[in-house]
Chains A and B, each alone.
Chain A
Amino acid sequence: MLRLRTAGMLGRWLPELAALVSLVLFPFVFPIIGGTFDMMDRILIWGLFGLGFDILFGVTGLLSFGQAAFYGIGGFTTAYLLISGALTNAVVALIAGTILASSFGLIIGVLSLRRAGIYFAMLTLAFGEMFYFLDMSPLSKLTGGENGLSGVPPAAIGFGILVRTPEEMYWLIALLFFMGFVLARRIVNSPFGAILVAIRDNIARVGVLGHDVQKYKLTAFVIAAAYGGLAGGLLGLFQGYMPPDAFYLETSGQLVVQTIMGGAGTLIGPTIGAAVWVYLRSELQQVDAIGGLWKMVLGIVFVLIVALLRKGICGGISVLWRRFTATAPAPLPGLAVDSAVAARARVPATVTRKRSTLTGPIILEAKNVVKRYGGLTAVDDVSFQLAEGEIRALIGPNGAGKTTFFNMLAGTVPVTQGEIHFAGEQITRLGSTAVCQRGLAKSFQINQLFPSLSVRDNIRISALGRRYGKFYPSMLRDLRHDADIRQATDEAIEAVDLSDCSDAPAIELAYGEKRRLEIGLALATKPRVLLLDEPTAGMSPSERAVIVQLLKHIAAGMTIVIVEHDMDVVFGLADRVTVLLCGRKIAEGSPEAIQANAEVRAAYLGSPAGK
């Protein structure tokens, strides 16, 4: 028992331990191949810079080309404070530089994150250049402009200790790097980190599941800026000189290149990349035939890695390692068995559910809702009331406006006119994140999963939103030990019957399983009203039967609106049915009444009236 526990502890802290051992051994091993302390210091400073960048790019998926700004701000602040004598303690100066860099990170982040994707890359690059120009002329009295700031005094780190030589500096930098690494690992394994990974995988869905994506992205940006500021400060201390090229575009570019070469999303990748860069530069420059071409060689290697080895050196090593250690490919649980059959086996064959009495209070209400796209009116003056505890089906031929109406209820599509009320509150213009937080969740017609995350991790994103609200910047807690989340996740996985494959990545699931996971994502937000957009779309009849049984289970004690084309599903589940045609509501009532309604039959079922 004790041995098991130590083994478990060891396993959990293995990366930290490995980092510690490597940092201690580095100065004894690296010189064998010609490395110097000067090179080691540079590698670790780049590595520290890269830890933050990897949280931003590797983990969250935000590619910034403007990190040099924060490196420069931190570096020049630290250097200036020490040279001017305003501060004497290097640690305090480093902290000051880090804080200033983070503050600018907040401002630049707010602006750059107004746009996503390629815009973000362009904007960060442009703002990075802005700081270069600020450094070069308006602020050159403070920063020395093209000359940089020389004469940074040896680092006094308190207790009368002075750090002078590159060798002494190594141990200071290594200590800070180690602390930075442990912190970065904690961030990645925290509830906050889980949301960041989800943002990289499928940003739209994170928002719909009730998380304030913008705040998470901004926080990641500020974290990256802080790491950059600290690294910049160390650069000035270690060199005794703060060079203006900290602000250069090439600095941002070098950080990106090193991160990709080493392996993005691994935290240690940027350090590996930096080691390759720093070492190759010093070695290649000495080779006559290459000399000045070393950067072109690196450029070619970089392009090849982007094209062929997207996970970089670390990713390549881990693939080789797995291939080397794997004896037989373990069959993915849940894939080998026909999932539909397996599921049917465990779900009770018939669930008898009493039809809702429909006397509950109105929980969701749409008042004269209209949606126009230019001249096209997709939803035209639809009013709709949903009683608590009811299952309502929303039917209508293709193009009737069902999905548009649904999206307006869920807040993913803005309403042109009219009002939507939920649990006594107007939610018309709140947006999907706030609507989800209030307890109105939607599963999509087309799966919107987190493809590279496991089933469990997928569901966890939903559970986190329910448990901790739309923004929960808890970075130091270990999510793996969160009992509440674990329980909520297990329940949801059980409810959609995916326990067999809870560790498989979503992308490897069979279609029917993906569909169930899609429902599970909405379900795990523990909504008061669940909106299901064609849950059985694209499924075989046997899979449909499974879903219907699942839904009947889920329906106990929940209010559901379901858009569906399969009439067996509709009439088997619904308490009441609402029919849309060309954006208008043409009928509403019990399934029997709808089946008998001549107008519905004519318009929707396509059979002549009064057949």
Chain B
Amino acid sequence: MNWPLLWAQLFNGLTLGALLVLVAMGLTIIFGVLGVLNFAHGAFYMVGAYAAYAAFTTTKSFLIAIAAGAIVSLLLGVLIERILIRYFYKRPHEDQILVTFGIGIIMVEAVRAHFGGIAQRMPVPKWGEGAANLGFLYYPTYRIEVLGIVAAALIILYVALYRTRIGLVVRAGIEDQLMVSMLGINVTRTFLVVFGLGSMAAGFAGVINSPIVTVDPEMGAPVLVQAFVVIVIGGVGSFWGAMVGGLIAGEILSLTSMVLPAYSNVMLFAAMALVLILRPQGLFGVQGRQ
């Protein structure tokens, strides 16, 4: 057994999983509260990465790049909710899926038109260069920092969801959207905020992941698919479902690529199929929810 390799793959799985958790969290919160399955979520991830790339090439500051990625995806999310998504809440789920799918196409093509279709490289920030000695393993510093950054983001999200007023409204909205609006809470504004924050989660994940992968207009599609798998495994609308589902997905992708590289992605879908057969509502899902 090649222990260092196994450890490295476990850590890779953890990093990848953490990023998937962040993306899936945005998706699941938006779906839970707004009832909209956002097919443009992958595009927000991509836009976040490009915003960061553009900010970095002009300012050379990674921190500004992170801020730019998060803010641009937040503002874009708010804008799109305001001018389009808002008018689809009362329409069938299929229409919501279709319109977000179309928005995703436009976002990808707009970025391609401006930045070109060639993959760009985002350098690792100064504070993330080199490798750290963990005693049993040398591991790239940046990836360890990614774990910390994502964990911090998730803790902030958790606190926001479970310890604040708006979080209470959001969680109540996941349970019963109609009831919340009947209680006289301004749902319109809540929806706007939730869509913006959900998009920001995706964009932020895109920024953080950009030094690890390459930045290109199509980078969002596979992440969207993996986020779907995470949600199916974990159960939609569940914080812990997205959490556990994301980590499981990350480890499956990473560990199988060590043993059976050709099957690493296939295994992910096989795991999803298994969950569907054994527990169709997802590990943390509630039975009866559509």
Q: Which residues of A contact B (CB under 8 A)?
A: 57, 61, 63, 111, 114-119, 121-123, 125-127, 129-130, 133-134, 137-138, 249, 253, 256-257, 260, 292-293, 295-296, 298-300, 302-303, 306-307, 310
Q: Is the CB of A306 within 8 A of B99?
A: yes
Chain B residues, CB < 8 A from A111: 273, 276-277
The residue from A63, A122, A129, A138 contacting B232, defined by CB atoms under 8 A apart: A122
Q: Is the CB of B228 within 8 A of A125?
A: yes
Q: Is the CB of A299 within 8 A of B109?
A: yes
Q: Is the CB of B266 within 8 A of A293?
A: no
Closest residue of chain B to A293 (Cβ to Cβ) is B113
The residue from A114, A118, A303 contacting B97, defined by CB atoms under 8 A apart: A118
A-B contact pairs, 19 of them (CB 8 A): A63-B97, A114-B276, A114-B280, A115-B280, A118-B97, A122-B228, A123-B232, A123-B276, A126-B269, A130-B270, A137-B263, A253-B105, A299-B105, A302-B98, A302-B102, A303-B102, A303-B106, A306-B95, A310-B95
Q: Is the CB of B225 within 8 A of A125?
A: yes
Contact with A along B258-285 (1 / 0, CB 8 A): 0001110110011011001100100000
Q: Is the CB of B221 within 8 A of A249?
A: yes
The residue from A122, A296, A306 contacting B37, defined by CB atoms under 8 A apart: A122
Q: Is the CB of A116 within 8 A of B290?
A: yes
Q: Is the CB of B228 within 8 A of A126?
A: yes
Contact with A along B212-242 (1 / 0, CB 8 A): 0000000001100100110110001000000
Chain A residues, CB < 8 A from B265: 129-130, 133
Q: Does B110 contact A (CB under 8 A)?
A: yes
Return A245 CB to nearest CB of chain B, in Å.
12
Interface centre among A122, A260, A298 (most CB of B within 10 A): A122
Chain A residues, CB < 8 A from B95: 306, 310
Q: A121-B97, A122-B232, A137-B262 are in contact. List 8 more A-B contacts (CB 8 A).
A: A57-B94, A121-B37, A122-B228, A137-B263, A253-B105, A296-B105, A299-B109, A306-B99
Chain B residues, CB < 8 A from A299: 102, 105-106, 109
Chain B residues, CB < 8 A from A249: 221, 225
The residue from B236, B266, B277 contacting A138, defined by CB atoms under 8 A apart: B266
Q: Is the CB of B98 within 8 A of A118?
A: no
Q: Does B7 contact A (CB under 8 A)?
A: no
Whole-angstrom CA separation of A257 from B103 in the bound complex:
12
Q: Does B6 contact A (CB under 8 A)?
A: no
Whole-angstrom CA separation of A249 from B43 in the bound complex:
14
Interface centre among B112, B222, B273, B290 (most CB of A within 10 A): B273
Q: Is the CB of A129 within 8 A of B225?
A: yes
Within 8 A of A (CB), among B101-128: 101-103, 105-106, 109-110, 112-113
The residue from B263, B270, B290 contacting A117, defined by CB atoms under 8 A apart: B290
Q: Does B87 contact A (CB under 8 A)?
A: yes
Chain A residues, CB < 8 A from B98: 63, 256, 260, 302, 306
Q: A114-B276, A118-B37, A122-B228 are in contact. Are A295 and B105 (CB under 8 A)?
A: yes
Whole-angstrom CA separation of A118 from B263 in the bound complex:
27
Return A151 CB to nearest CB of chain B, in Å.
24
Q: A138-B266, A299-B106 are in contact. Are A119 and B113 (CB under 8 A)?
A: no
Return A152 CB to nearest CB of chain B, in Å.
25
Whole-angstrom CA separation of A299 from B228 in the bound complex:
22
Closest residue of chain A to B95 (Cβ to Cβ) is A306
Whole-angstrom CA separation of A115 from B105 in the bound complex:
26
Chain A residues, CB < 8 A from B261: 137
Closest residue of chain A to B261 (Cβ to Cβ) is A137
Chain A residues, CB < 8 A from B222: 129
Within 8 A of A (CB), among B70-101: 84, 87-88, 93-95, 97-99, 101
Chain B residues, CB < 8 A from A298: 105
Q: Is the CB of A292 within 8 A of B113?
A: yes
Q: Does B139 contact A (CB under 8 A)?
A: no
Return A451 CB to nearest CB of chain B, in Å.
12
Q: Identify the 7 closest CB pairs spanning chains A and B, nearest first.
A: A296-B109, A299-B105, A130-B269, A137-B262, A303-B102, A133-B265, A299-B106
Closest residue of chain B to A291 (Cβ to Cβ) is B113
Q: Is the CB of A119 within 8 A of B269?
A: no
Whole-angstrom CA separation of A61 from B98 in the bound complex:
13
Q: Is the CB of A256 within 8 A of B109?
A: no
Return A377 CB to nearest CB of chain B, in Å.
19
Whole-angstrom CA separation of A299 from B231 in the bound complex:
27
Chain A residues, CB < 8 A from B290: 115-119
Return B62 CB to nearest CB of chain A, in Å.
30
Return B180 CB to nearest CB of chain A, in Å.
20
Whole-angstrom CA separation of A299 from B100 in the bound complex:
11
Whole-angstrom CA separation of A248 from B114 in the bound complex:
24
Q: Is the CB of B263 within 8 A of A307?
A: no
Chain B residues, CB < 8 A from A306: 95, 98-99, 102
Q: Is the CB of A115 within 8 A of B276?
A: yes
Q: Is the CB of B84 within 8 A of A256?
A: no
Q: A111-B277, A253-B101 are in contact. Are A303 and B272 (CB under 8 A)?
A: no
The residue from A126, A133, A260, A296 contacting B106, defined by CB atoms under 8 A apart: A296
Chain B residues, CB < 8 A from A127: 269, 273
Whole-angstrom CA separation of A332 from B105 in the bound complex:
43
Chain B residues, CB < 8 A from A61: 94
Whole-angstrom CA separation of A306 from B87 in the bound complex:
11
Chain B residues, CB < 8 A from A302: 98, 102, 105
Return A72 CB to nearest CB of chain B, in Å.
15
Whole-angstrom CA separation of A117 from B280 in the bound complex:
13
Chain A residues, CB < 8 A from B103: 303
The residue from A126, A133, A257, A292 contacting B272, defined by CB atoms under 8 A apart: A126
